[in-house]
Amino acid sequence: MHILVIGAAGMVGRKLTDALVKAGEVGGKGIERLTLADIVAAGKPSFGGAVETIATDLSAPGAAAALVGKRPDLIFHLAAIVSGEAEADFEKGYRINLDGTRELLEAIRKESVKSPYKPRLVFTSSIAVFGAPFPEAIGDEYFSTPLTSYGTQKAIGELLLNDYSRKGFLDGVGIRLPTIVVRPGKPNAAASGFFSNILREPLVGQEAVLPVSRDVRHWFASPRAAVGFLLHAATMDTAALGWRRTITAPGLTATVGEEIEALRRAAGDKAVALIREEPNETIVRIVAGWPRNFDARRALALGFKAESSMDEIIRAHVEDELGGKIGG
């Protein structure tokens, strides 16, 4: 099996690559070749098969065709610019998040015309495809009315994935990822970044800024769960999806205050005291348009799994990123 990971240098891309290398197979098929693509070169893993790392812009002319011309059996499309950046830079958001996706789909279609070729394509969408007003819990039949450019770009990507799958050019699965916490590394430009920051930094004895009120509620899953979603999407029977090729991944709903109380249980009052509240009206406005809770029964019925408590999410971060130990 040849696997292409687009967005391989990002946090989820790195963790996915590590999981693929560790497993050595997907769905019972051995991995012989990995192609890791991103705007910057991804790190090269220690792997017994062939590994190629490519620095490329998916939206640039010919870039997608060059990747797809290698005819990977399985493609993970994780590449995007994050919500805050897409909102601040309108043109860049559409170029990367929409045009790049369309270039990839078109490259697959054109390759399939040459001779039989139908890869499995796993596309990461987002819960940002939904916009207010919201029901108490968003079900699988709820309509998409995004209130951000990022959400709009992802919603269009979902429609394209459906159509290209319907036409038989590819076998697509889309996953609307929850907000992923706790993200390792440094803060990024995502408007949702503070959800991780207020846990990650205090867990190692550093200050964190909270730009919204503690009653803000959101939908979460861990990086560990996100990788599990992707691997399950790569091997599932897509006949069960019908022509609704994108699912809302499972997760858990929690307020910022509940995050903080889970931090207190894990690391004590000293860690909580490191959170500094500084309201940011731009972030407050963006977050107000995001969904807060889901009824993800379709994903659960299809075999997707996530954490059931914020305590589990923090524990996964401590185990995976901090060597099992808390403290700066």
Which H or E run includes 194?
A: helix 193-203
- Which alpha helices (H) appear in 63-183, and where do they start and end? 63-68, 83-88, 90-93, 100-114, 149-166
Burial pattern 85-123, b for ≥16 Cβ within 10 A else e, equals bbbeeeeebbbbbbbbbbbbbbbbbebbeeeebebbbbb
- Closest CA relative to residue 321, chosen from 224, 237, 225, 228: 224
Dist. CA 42–CA 37, nearest whole Å:
7
Distances in whole angstroms, Cα of residue 127 to Cα of each of 101, 234, 323 = 18, 20, 31
Determine whether 150 is an active site residue.
Answer: yes
Strand partners, 54: 37
Catalytic residue among 94, 117, 142, 150: 150
State the distance between the two ends of the chain, measured CA to CA, in whole angstroms.
42
Other Cβ atoms less than 10 A from the Cβ of 19: the count is 15
Measured torsion, CA atoms of residues 77, 79, 150, 123, in degrees rounded to the nearest 10: 10
The pair of three-digit structure tokens given for residue 2, joined into one six-digit string = 């040849």
Task: Show which residues are catalytic.
Answer: 150
